[in-house]
Amino acid sequence: LEHTAGGLTAKAVMRQVCKTARDCRQEFGIDGGVIVCSLRHYSEARSMEAAELALKFRDEGVVGFDLAGDEAAYGVSAHRRAYEMVKQEGLPRTVHAGEACGPESLWEALIELDPQRIGHGVRCIEDESLMKFIWVMGIVLEVCPTSNIQTGVVSHIQDHPIDRLYRYGIPLCINTDSRTTTPTTLTQECELVGRAFGWTDTDFRRCFETARAAAFQKPGPTS
């Protein structure tokens, strides 16, 4: 919906985004999908509109629904109905939480929105019971180390909780976050984590398999 400021309709934006995703798959042979993202400052009505768009275009490439935005200023209650609707229709769900705010924000997102993945989520390290809940439920954390340093979650990579979360058994994957604001690559992120915590190929392979299993896509053939 943020892309409609120049005069395009929301449906026109979705058609173009889905078409571009399909074109990229055909050109580069890399599978992928579109996740429609609502924002925390949206009203309930606007979040419902985003959810309806996601469902309308799921046959054209939309694979999931997300919530992002100012975690410190806005809760998730305005988005509960949107998440209930996409859940009822079987559309996978993720939500950004546990970065700008601590465990209370994660608990709220998990209980009210019932996501299968959490964007960031690293501040669950501050609450043992929350870590256990995430582990038991098999909720995957989308961890973005460099981005977390940029946003001040930690000061240095050596302070990042990714290794402790991984050793605890929480399913997680390594990500780049938005490359428009975090100029990094997945290779660079893995190298950063490897140098800081001594991860081996086995550790990274486990994370990649977690990412594969948690992708909002039908699994393709294994190599």
Please state, in angstroms and rounded to a whole number, the distance separating the CA atoms of residues 100 and 164.
19
List, in sequence order, the alpha helices (H) in the chain: 10-28, 44-56, 80-88, 103-113, 128-137, 145-150, 162-168, 186-197, 201-214
| Marked catalytic residue, from 52, 60, 99, 189 | 99
Contacts 24+ apart (CB under 8 A), 97-104: 97/71, 97/121, 98/122, 98/123, 98/124, 99/71, 99/123, 99/148, 99/151, 99/153, 100/70, 100/71, 100/72, 100/151, 101/71, 101/72, 102/126, 102/127, 103/127, 103/130
Residue 151 sits at φ, ψ, to 5 deg, of -85, 0
Question: 84 with 48: CB under 8 angstroms?
Answer: no
What's the rounded Cα separation, in Å, for the pair 190 and 135?
22
Q: Is-catalytic flag, 99? A: yes
Q: Which residues are catalytic?
A: 99
